[in-house]
Amino acid sequence: MPAYEKALYLTFDDGPIPEVTEFVLDALEKYQAKGTFFCIGDNVRKHPHIFNKISAQGHTIGNHTFNHLNGWRTTDEDYLTNILQCDEQLPKATGLFRPPYGRIKQSQARRILPSKKIVMWDVLTGDFSPNISPDTCFKKTVKYSRSGSIILFHDSLKARKNMEYALPLTLDYFKNKGYKFLPL
Ligand SMILES: [Zn+2]
């Protein structure tokens, strides 16, 4: 990324699901924005047509395990198997992985790293939290985002209310400030 370019990396975890993921895709398209979707394998299996829309619109796909496993509570063997199960749902291999809950053991990370980059985030929108309002979610996102930030939203039912409010406003706010939204 050239130094003069202002860019943000929007990421969406836990989809694909009908309506919510489609809302995200429409919003991104409206602002010519590209993002990265860390998909749950079981959701890809259930909603292949939604997954195909993500790919068709040129967004990046990442692996988020097949069953949204918490690495801290899972044996390395089961964790790795679950990641492979997610990979099997994807028509093209992905080099990106995000651990659900951000929780992964060192021993698990070591085994993933040869084939995938582990991508965390620096801006947590909190969209999934029932304790924050849509407006707080938006303001928090604006306050903590810098050029180069990786911003975490969710295309999930739990996050829907906050995300559907905060995402379009975030796109609008940063687009007006000259930012681009790039895929990882
Ligand atoms: Zn997740």
pLDDT surpasses 60 at 153: yes
CATH code for the domain of 65: 3.20.20.370
Compute, in angstroms, the gap from residue 14 CA to the centroid of ligand 1: 5
Compute, in angstroms, the gap from residue 65 CA to the centroid of ligand 1: 9
Quick check: 98 and 120 in contact, CB under 8 A? yes
Compute, in angstroms, the gap from residue 3 CA to the centroid of ligand 1: 31
Average pLDDT rounded to a whole number, residues 175-183: 97
Residue 163 lies in a domain: yes
Residue 104 lies in a domain: yes
d(CA 110, CA 125): 28
Number of domains the chain contains: 1
* Structural domain of 37: 7-181
d(CA 67, CA 85): 9
Tens-place pLDDT, residues 19-54: 999 999 999 999 999 999 999 999 999 999 999 999
d(CA 133, CA 125): 11
Tens-place pLDDT, residues 79-136: 999 999 999 999 999 999 999 999 999 999 999 999 999 999 999 999 999 999 999 9
pLDDT surpasses 90 at 1: no
Compute, in angstroms, the gap from residue 182 CA to the centroid of ligand 1: 20
| Cα within 13 Å of Cα(109), Cβ side | 13
Residue 2 lies in a domain: no
Compute, in angstroms, the gap from residue 30 CA to the centroid of ligand 1: 25
